[in-house]
Amino acid sequence: AQDVTTWRVQSHWPASSSSYEDSLVRLKNVIEERTEGRVQLQLFEAGALFKAQETFNAVSRGILQMGTISPGYAQDKMTLAGIASGLPFAFHNVWEAAYFHKNLGFEKMLQEEAAQYGVYWATDKVYPTEMVVKNPINSWEDFTKLKIRSSGALQKFLDDAGASTTYLPGSELYPALDTGVVDGAHWGAAQGAASMSLYEVAKYHVKPALNIAGTDVIIVSQKALDKLSEKDQEIVKQALDEQFWYRTNEYQYQERVALSKAMQEQGVQVNTLPDDVQQRLTEVAQKSWDEEGKRSEKAAEALDKLKTFLGELGYL
Amino acid sequence: MRLIHAYVNGITRLNIFLGRWVAYLIFVIFLLLIFEVFMRYLFSAPTSWTNELGQMLFGLYIVLSGGYVMAHRGHVNVDLLYSAFSRRTQAWVDIFTSSMFFLFTLALLYFGSSMAWESVQSMETSYSAWNPPIWPIKLAIPVGTLLLLLQGIAKLLEDVIVALNLQPVADTPKSSPEETQ
Amino acid sequence: MSIEITTLLFFLSLIFFLVLGLPLAFVLGGVSVLFLYFTWGVDSFYMVATQMWGTMESFTLVAIPLFVFMAMLLERTGVARDLYRMMHLWCGGVRGGLAVGTLGICAVFGAMVGISGAAVVAMGTIALPAMLERGYDKRMVLGCINAGGGWGILIPPSIMMILYAMISGVSVGKMFAAGVLPGILLVALTVTYVLVRSYLQPHMAPALPPEERGSWGDKLRAVRAVLLPIGIVVMVLGSIIGGITTPTEAAAMGVLGALISAAVYRKLNWDILQEAAIRTFKLTGMIAWILFAAHAFSAAYQGMGAQMLIEDLMMGLPGGRWGIIITMIVIVFFMGMLLDPVGIMLITLPVFLPIVNSLGFDPIWFGILFVINMEIGYMTPPFGFNLFYLKGIVPPSITMRDIYWSVIPFVIVNLIGMGIIMAFPEIATYLPDTLF
Ligand code: NA
Ligand code: NA
């Protein structure tokens, strides 16, 4: 009989999230099939064993063999996390973020930094984060009047830009938006908002995206990886690399479908920010980028690389 | 014997002293939440720090409670069978079941310390908009566990004395009058 | 070792140490560590520490000490006592009147909080002494508080419903709407039970003797006692519905209301504040350490592969679609005796929901059945959170045996309610279908 290795995999997605099925179950199937069953993944949904914020540490310690996270949950270890989880108003299109990660070597930098903690880093996909609001934003004043539920780096950005932000746990987001405790929020983009029922109580989907980034990451314990045969290690890494392209593309399709469904069935409208609002937000955003660059030499290097790239594209 | 006595009384006093101060955190938590509600509703100016600070103080509040609650015999158990035992039998049973207590608290102490140490080393912050340091709160995990553990050792010592019929232990300063429920 | 045998040993050890009188928190924590050692190794103890950190970071739990503090203030300042005096004067002629009044307050509490523990401790503080003083049977009193305290998760807002919605992908708003009529049904059934039982057995919940019922003047003067509590309810509920606060922050409004009441009673002094703070700390600490350990326990059980057990159990079931639904409910009922509700949700729902959907049942209706089942789980022995929270607050004359026995009729009433909702799904689905 052949040796079977079973990996415990902690997700940061709830089982109902489309990414749980499309990213994690897909990866499980691919790996199990290609290793001919030698590597089995035992999946746990968000929060079952570890909270999202502790998954990186658990994988780093080798207690979990694999996990999914947002870079933000590994901030204290990964100085590149801030850039990975998305500088606001940097990329305009998803392909740009993909190019930056894969072709310009940002993913390599992330992998090098994660390797210091015994973690193999593989971005699951790049995608936008977009806001939903109860009333459309038609002017700068509309924007600054907003009370937005936010978190992490985006909260700081929105705050600096002049909106009022507040942090509420996900479980209180729906009632808060419903009763008007807050009048805007971001939870992923269209699919995220739909999964949290936000379109029931907030009918305007704001474009453009607050950021576009590698917000979902698959992490593997290097220790666990090393225990596999070289052939199986290669299979796992290959599967992860393919996963990025497959999911990034698929996710854009799913986003579009989710938004169009919300528009048809729930009367959601797209609220495109007026040019002057976009302009002012971009100015505030660019100042916040420099903060991230100060976290380490690596971060400064990544930020330089990013600015050069955006310059090339004519955005700066 | 006198040493044991001093230890039991000392730890119990320490826990009760600390607990009384930590208990007042409820006022601060209340004020922070109310302040946020007023700022957000009346002035449309929610703060980025009140809820988070309230949350952090709540974490401190509950994690430091273990020893205090135990000093007051406040951790709830099932007394169906237990209450039918004699005091000495109870002591023997408690000595046996304390194995579970020590398993739990020692695991918590070791891994809580390791988690806290990691956090202290990197001077971990929350990476929220406010971005306060959270290592002090993580550090409270081993501290709170240690307070509970020390109180558990005191309980074990008392049980051993009762079980072996060594000498009746004088009542620990368990409850001052205004604290009885 | 198969998951079936691990499960059996795991739960038997839980019951073994519980019966030997070790506090619940340490039973849960110790047994988790023991089993993690054998199934996963020493390194996995790290999970116990991280679960503790996760509990410390849970914002919704902040409501617990605040609502407990509110209740302590209301009790010590005499607001609660006057409220019960008023209820006794007005409904004292009816057997079981105070119990019904208590259930009414529980229902209002249920609309104010999204969690279960706060209401139990609060009502245990306010209602229990008042009813015992007036000659009510202790098991009747305990049962009412246990049952009524659980309504926090059935009557919206409810954290359980939000969790269910997040796991199942149904709408939160629809879940909330779906909870309203079943909530009313369960309240009505429980009130009916109490009235019938105390009519048949007057010693359980005696009426006030006619000579003590007071004149109309007494009655009217006593009504003043409800003004402050109503004021607090308006503050809390109004601030949630009016979009002023989240349900968690509303707990702080409750404390504010209680402080104002204390000032009106001229009892707002440092001694009372200090005493209330210390009692709150003791109870919250007791609850928190149970939660620390319970969360570790669920995580340990899931790490052992609990979900495989559920998958095995659901494999090849006889009995058609209703047989399957009833089997699920029975499984959840038994898990509710031993596990914490969030853990049960994470273990069972990913297996159950695809089946529920493929059988053509409404997941919202199933969600309501599930939430009622969780509510029952909060009060079923041997391990129900509410039972232990209540034990933490009752006088020493009340034993765990009393608390265990007290819940039986109320569990049956809840099961009947669940049966009615199974037979008439419209009770759950009518409002969400109409409103959305
Ligand atoms: Na509720
Ligand atoms: Na139970």
Q: pTM here? A: 0.91
Decide: C350 and A44 in contact? Cβ < 8 Å: no
Q: Which residues of chain C fall short of a pLDDT of 50?
A: none
Q: Which of B128, B131, B141 to mutate to test the interface with A (most CBs of A within 10 A)?
A: B128
In this prediction, residue A197 carries a pLDDT of 87
In this prediction, residue C225 carries a pLDDT of 80
Say whether pLDDT at B175 is over 80: no
Decide: C55 and C292 in contact? Cβ < 8 Å: yes
CA-CA distance, C154 to C160, in Å (whole number)? 8
Per-residue pLDDT band at B176 (split at 50, 70, 90): very low
Give ipTM to 2 decimals: 0.90
In this prediction, residue C407 carries a pLDDT of 95
- Helix (H), strand (E) at residue A119: strand A119-129
Instruction: Quickly count helices (H) and strands (E) in chain B.
Output: 6, 0
Is A159 within 8 Å of chain B by CB? yes
User: Given an 8 Å threshold on Cβ–Cβ distance, is C29 in contact with B30?
Assistant: no
CB half-sphere exposure, C229, CA atoms < 13 A: 24
Name the closest ligand to CA C11: 2
**What's the mean pLDDT in A55-83?**
93
Cβ pairs bridging B and C (under 8 Å):
213
Question: Which residues is A43 bridged to in the sheet?
Answer: A9
A134-150 pLDDT, tens per residue?
Answer: 999 999 999 999 999 98
CA trace torsion A96, A97, A98, A99 (10° rounding): 50
**What's the mean pLDDT in B149-178?**
75
Amino acid identity, residue A197? S
Residue with tokens 């009441």: C261
Give the 3-state secondary structure of residue A214. Answer: strand
In this prediction, residue A15 carries a pLDDT of 79
**Residues in chain B whose beta carbon is closer than 8 A to a beta carbon of chain A?**
36, 40, 44-46, 48, 51-52, 115, 118-119, 122, 124-125, 127-129, 131
**Chain B partners within 8 Å of C395 (Cβ):** 181
Is C350 within 8 Å of chain A by CB? yes
CA-CA distance, B86 to B92, in Å (whole number)? 10
Q: At what angle do helices C117-133 and C97-112 cross, to 10 degrees?
A: 160
Q: Which of C43, C246, C304 to mutate to test the interface with A (most CBs of A within 10 A)?
A: C246
Strand positions, DSSP E, C316-433: none
List the single residue in C with minimal CA-CA distance to B177. C275
Percentage of chain A lying above the pLDDT 70 cut: 99
User: What are the residue boundaries of the structural domains of chain B, listed by start?
Assistant: 2-174
Residue with tokens 């393919």: A242
C109's torsion region: left (phi>0), alpha (psi -120 to 50) or beta? Answer: alpha
Question: Which residues is A272 bridged to in the sheet?
Answer: A207
CB-based contacts of C420, cutoff 8 Å, min separation 6: C185, C427
**Chain A partners within 8 Å of C59 (Cβ):** 168-169, 172
CA-CA distance, A126 to A214, in Å (whole number)? 4
The more confidently predicted of residues C389 and A152 is C389
List the single residue in A with minimal CA-CA distance to B41. A181
User: Given an 8 Å threshold on Cβ–Cβ distance, is B46 in contact with A155?
Assistant: no
CA-CA distance, B176 to C14, in Å (whole number)? 34
- Averaged pLDDT score across all residues of chain A: 93
Per-residue pLDDT band at B174 (split at 50, 70, 90): very low
User: Given an 8 Å threshold on Cβ–Cβ distance, is A166 in contact with B51?
Assistant: yes
Is C39 within 8 Å of chain A by CB? no
User: Given an 8 Å threshold on Cβ–Cβ distance, is B99 in contact with C30?
Assistant: yes
B102-156 pLDDT, tens per residue?
Answer: 999 999 999 999 999 999 998 998 888 888 999 999 999 999 999 999 999 999 9
Cα A241 to chain centroid distance, Å, stands at 17
Instruction: Please report, for residues A199, A215, A277, C390, the alpha-carbon distance to residue A205 in angstroms, rounded to integers and kept in the order given.
Output: 8, 20, 16, 46
In this prediction, residue B168 carries a pLDDT of 55
Q: In what order do the strands lie in the sheet with A204-207?
A: A164-166, A147-149, A184-186, A131-133, A204-207, A269-272
CA-CA distance, C126 to B102, in Å (whole number)? 36
A3-43 pLDDT, tens per residue?
Answer: 899 999 999 998 778 899 999 999 999 999 999 999 999 99
Across A241-250, B48-57, C150-159, the highest mean pLDDT is recorded for A241-250
Instruction: Please report, for residues A94, B44, C171, the alpha-carbon distance to residue A17 in angstroms, rounded to integers and kept in the order given.
Output: 21, 33, 13
